[in-house]
Amino acid sequence: DAKTTQPNSMESNEEEPVHLPCNHSTISGTDYIHWYRQLPSQGPEYVIHGLTSNVNNRMASLAIAEDRKSSTLILHRATLRDAAVYYCILRDWKGGSEKLVFGKGMKLTVNP
């Protein structure tokens, strides 16, 4: 499974934008970039995913570099509820198993 690299942790301030980086230099052409987050004492929650183009949804935006070797999850206005562990995951459809392989993730702290 292709690997991703994230910082161990980040801090942000409430109501400010947050940019969460992810490096995936060995990404293949069939890998989708997925983001999940896990709030304390809860199961992971889907945030967003993309292949090549930038993506937006009600939770966040995903900016994908032109060479696809990195991506950035953007929370436009952080709230205290966004404090969580964020996982950047590559998901390859080619093999057909569709499994999601989690790394350690990145802990986001939001300061009031």
Partner 1 sequence: EAGVAQSPRYKIIEKRQSVAFWCNPISGHATLYWYQQILGQGPKLLIQFQNNGVVDDSQLPKDRFSAERLKGVDSTLKIQPAKLEDSAVYLCASSLSRDKLYFGPGTRLTVL
- Site for partner 1, rule CB under 8 A: 36, 41-46, 49, 87, 93, 97-105
CA distance 29 to 109: 33
Q: Which is nearer to partner 1, 29 or 112 (CB)?
A: 29
Minimum Å gap between C-beta 91 and partner 1 is 8
Cα separation values, 83 from 39, 63, 68, 112, Å = 7, 20, 27, 11
Beta strands in 1-112 (DSSP E): 9-13, 18-23, 31-38, 45-50, 55-56, 61-64, 70-75, 84-92, 106-111
Q: Which is nearer to partner 1, 66 or 94 (CB)?
A: 94
Q: Which is nearer to partner 1, 12 or 34 (CB)?
A: 34
Minimum Å gap between C-beta 16 and partner 1 is 27
Minimum Å gap between C-beta 17 and partner 1 is 24
